[in-house]
Amino acid sequence: MSESNEIKKSIDDLKRKFSKKNIDLFDMIGSFGILIYTKKIFKSNKELSESLNLIFNIHLPEYIVKSRPLTLARISKIIFELNEDGTDFSNILNKTILIIKEKEKVLEEEKKEKNTPEAKKGKKNENEKLESWLKGL
């Protein structure tokens, strides 16, 4: 399976998990765990942190942002505290789905840009130089 198909499948699975009407605490923490640890969706920790800030309206300290396990631990704690307060998860789930859909669009645009012939610019490596030289003969 190609990388783009794997990313598409991961995003579809996450959208389906976050779209459940009656999501329980363990499913929510597990789904955020998948979201946080999947580096194909959020390539940088900073990008992940910005998205989590939008979802939970929090600011994570820099030492937490640098580590995905610490990020998951903090988000799990926040989700657990929200559950104790009796807060409905629907607002968080809706924000999460919107961010995942936005990220999906960005990844599709990046994929299209990579596949365009104009995307291949820069210096030629030795094989390309040799190939062009041989074509000239």
Range of the domain at 57: 3-136
pLDDT of residue 50: 92
Summarised one tens digit per residue, pLDDT across range 13-47 is 888 888 877 788 888 899 899 999 988 888 899 99
Summarised one tens digit per residue, pLDDT across range 62-120 is 999 999 999 999 999 999 888 766 677 788 888 989 998 898 888 888 878 777 665 45
Average predicted confidence (pLDDT) for the chain: 83
pTM of this structure: 0.73
Question: Looking at per-residue confidence, does 25 or 135 come out higher?
Answer: 25
pLDDT of residue 23: 80
How many folded domains does the chain comprise?
1
Other beta carbons within 10 angstroms of residue 103's beta carbon come to 18
**CB distance 42 to 48 below 8 Å:** yes
CA–CA dist 17, 23 (Å, integer): 8
**CB distance 28 to 79 below 8 Å:** yes
pLDDT of residue 20: 79
pLDDT of residue 118: 57
Q: At what angle do helices 3-18 and 90-115 cross, to 10 degrees?
A: 160
